[in-house]
Structure 1
Amino acid sequence: MKMIIGLGNPGKQYEMTRHNVGFHVIDELAKQMDAPAMQLKFNGAYTIIHRPEGKVLLVKPLTYMNLSGECVAPLMDYYDIHPDEIVVIYDDLDLAPGKLRLRQKGSAGGHNGMKSLIAHLGTDTFNRIRIGVGRPTGGMKVSDYVLSSFSKEEQPLLDEMVKKSASACLDWLKSPFLDVMNHYNKA
C-alpha cells in the first residue's frame, strides 16, 4: 500500500489559499482515480483506491497544517505503511509560483506541517513534492501570505502544478520515486 498525503487546512475560509495546494492535488487525484468518498478518521479525511499497482491511500490531514503528523503517523501505523511508501505534497515559499520540486529527504525548511511530520514519523527520509507559492512582497507577513489566495495571474500556474503533481504521483505508483524525481526535476 502506498500513501499520498496533501497538506492543508480544513474549512471553507482556507480552501483556496496557498497553504492548501496539497489538498488540491489530493482532490485532483481522487477525481482522476474515481476514488470512493472520503472517510473521516484518525484526524483526517482519507480514501482507499484499489489499482492494478496496489492499494493507494489518499489523505488530507484535518488537524490544521502545524499538526499534520498527528493524522499521518497513526494512519501509517494502522495500515503498516513504511516512510518510503509515502509522498507528501505541500506548498513551498522558496520556489516561485509554478515551480515543482521532488525530494526523497531533507529538513522541514521552516514549514510547520513538515516539522510536525518529521517529529511524528521520527525521520526526515520520505518522499515529497514541493509546490512553489513564492515569497511575500511589500512587507507582508509569511502567515498572512500563505493564508491568502493566488492572484488571477498565478491561478493558471497553480492549476498546472496541481495537474503536474498529480501526474508525478500516478507515475510513482508504477516507477521508483527516484526515477520520477529525476524526470520531473528536469522540467
Structure 2
Amino acid sequence: MKIIIGLGNPGKKYENTRHNAGFMVMDALAALCDLSFDQEKFSAYFAKGKIHGEDVILMKPTTYMNNSGFALRQVLDFYKESSEDVLIIYDDIDLPVGKIRLRQKGSAGGHNGIKSIIQAMGTSTFDRIRVGTSRDPQIPIIQWVLTNFKSEEKEDLHKAIDAAAHAAYYAIDHTFSQTMNQYNQK
C-alpha cells in the first residue's frame, strides 16, 4: 500500500496560499489517478483506489498544517503500515517557485507540518516531494507562507504542481530512488 499525503490547511481562506502547495499537488494527483476526495476520515480528505495494481491512499489532512502528523498516525495505525509506505508532498520556501525536489530523509528544516510528521512517525526517514514556493526576505515567514502566489508566478507554479503530481504517480510503482533519478531537477 502507498499512502500519499499532501500538506496544507483546509478551507477556502487558505486554498491558494503558498503553504497549500501540497494540497494543490494532491488535487492534480487525484485527477491523474481518476480518484476524488469524496470521503472525510482519519482527520483528512481521503481518496482510496488501486493504481498499477497497488492500493493507494491519497490524503489532505484537515488538522491544519502544524498537526498533520495526527492524521497520518491514524492511517498508519489503522492499516498497519510503516513510514516506508509514506510519501509526503509539501511546500518549501527555500526552493524557487517552479522547482521540485525529491528526498528520502532529512530534517524538518523549520517546516512545522514536517515536524509533526516526524514526531508522529518517530523517524525522519520517509519519501518526500518538496514544491518550491520561494521566500520574500522582507516578510516574516509565518506571514509569507499564507500569502497567495503572484500572478507572474502562476505559470511556474502550475509546471511544478504537474511535475510533482507526475513524480508521485511514478513513485506508486517504482522505487523512490528511480523516481528521484527521473524527477529531481538539476
Q: TM-score range by the shorter chain?
A: over 0.9
Distance in 2 separating the partners of 1:176 and 1:61:
25
Counting only pairs closer than 5 Å after superposition, residues 92-131 of structure 1 correspond to structure 2 as 92-131=92-131
Contact 2:99-2:185 at 8 Å conserved across structures: no
Question: What is the Cα deviation at residue 85 of structure 1?
Answer: 1.1
Name the SS for the 1:66 alignment partner: helix
* Structure 1 position 157 matched with structure 2 position 156: yes
Name the SS for the 1:154 alignment partner: helix
Question: What is the Cα deviation at residue 38 of structure 1?
Answer: 2.5
Question: What is the Cα deviation at residue 51 of structure 1?
Answer: 2.2
Name the SS for the 1:171 alignment partner: helix
Question: What is the Cα deviation at residue 36 of structure 1?
Answer: 4.1
Which residue of structure 1 aligns with residue 143 of structure 2?
Answer: 144
Distance in 2 separating the partners of 1:51 and 1:18:
29
Distance in 1 separating the partners of 2:158 and 2:22:
12
Moved more, 80-89 or 57-66: 80-89
Counting only pairs closer than 5 Å after superposition, residues 168-187 of structure 1 correspond to structure 2 as 168-187=167-186
Contact 2:51-2:172 at 8 Å conserved across structures: no
Which residue of structure 2 aligns with residue 8 of structure 1?
Answer: 8
Using the size of structure 1 for normalisation, the TM-score is 0.96
Counting only pairs closer than 5 Å after superposition, residues 63-78 of structure 1 correspond to structure 2 as 63-78=63-78
Deviations 1:66-122 (A, max 9, x none): 000010111111112221111100000111111110000010000000000000110
Contact 1:7-1:89 at 8 Å conserved across structures: yes
Question: What is the Cα deviation at residue 186 of structure 1?
Answer: 4.1
Distance in 1 separating the partners of 2:35 and 2:184:
28
Q: Percent identity over the alignment?
A: 46
Deviations 1:16-36 (A, max 9, x none): 000001001111111111114
Moved more, 37-46 or 146-155: 37-46
Contact 1:89-1:129 at 8 Å conserved across structures: yes
One-letter amino acid matched to 2:71:
C
RMSD of aligned residue pairs (Cα, Å): 1.1
Using the size of structure 2 for normalisation, the TM-score is 0.96
Contact 1:36-1:49 at 8 Å conserved across structures: no
Which residue of structure 1 aligns with residue 45 of structure 2?
Answer: 45
Moved more, 13-22 or 28-37: 28-37
Moved more, 165-174 or 107-116: 165-174
One-letter amino acid matched to 2:46:
Y
Name the SS for the 1:131 alignment partner: strand
Structure 1 runs, 4 residues or longer, greater than 6 Å off: none
After superposition, the Cα gap between the structure-2 partners of 1:37 and 1:134, relative to the gap in structure 1 and judged at 3 Å, is: closer
Distance in 1 separating the partners of 2:48 and 2:28:
15
Distance in 1 separating the partners of 2:26 and 2:65:
15
How many residues align? The count is 186
Moved more, 97-106 or 43-52: 43-52
